[in-house]
Amino acid sequence: MKKTVNLTASGKAELEQELAELVAQRPAIAERIATARAFGDLSENQEYTDARAEQKTVENRIIEIEEILKSAKIIRTSKSDKINVGSTVVIDMGGKEFTYILVGPVEANPLEGKISNESPIGKELLGRKTGDEFDFNGKKVKIKSLG
């Protein structure tokens, strides 16, 4: 059974951009392989080995992105008083303020403030409202605003 992948519209656009960039790399990698092959004995040809490894990595990522895009469901963000996938939320955790966007696991990147709805904090946030408070990993968390 095919699993549906939740993506925001911007997350889908980012994946499509990455896919286009990877596809554009194919001719250069093929050229590097052809050039390295011309050096002779492939068993001791590091340039050839490196180019083939890069080709494998790029092709695997292309396949991965294509599969994600095939099973993608775009998250429609709607104005709601409850936190859903696609919501932007500002929380106070232990006296520090954080702004997060709740996204699907494929799009998650905590360094960019994108947290998965399947992560521990994401699960805690789902369905809550502005003003709600809860404990998370021994810290008091308060939801300050929801956008």
For residue range 45-74, what is the model confidence (pLDDT) as tens digits? 888 889 999 999 999 999 999 999 998 888
pLDDT at residue 79 in the model: 72
Confidence of residue 85 (pLDDT cuts 50, 70, 90): confident
Average pLDDT (7-35) is 93
Res 67: pLDDT: 93
In the predicted structure, residue 90 carries a pLDDT above the cut 90: yes
145/126 Cα distance (integer angstroms): 14
Provide the pLDDT for residue 111: 92
Using pLDDT thresholds of 50, 70 and 90, give the confidence band for residue 78. low
Residue 48: burial class (beta carbons within 10 Å; 0-12, 13-18, 19+): buried
Q: CA-to-CA distance for 126 and 119, rounded, in angstroms?
A: 11
pLDDT at 16: 95
Per-residue pLDDT band at 91 (split at 50, 70, 90): very high
- The answer to whether the CB of 77 falls within 8 A of the CB of 6 is no
SS3 37: helix
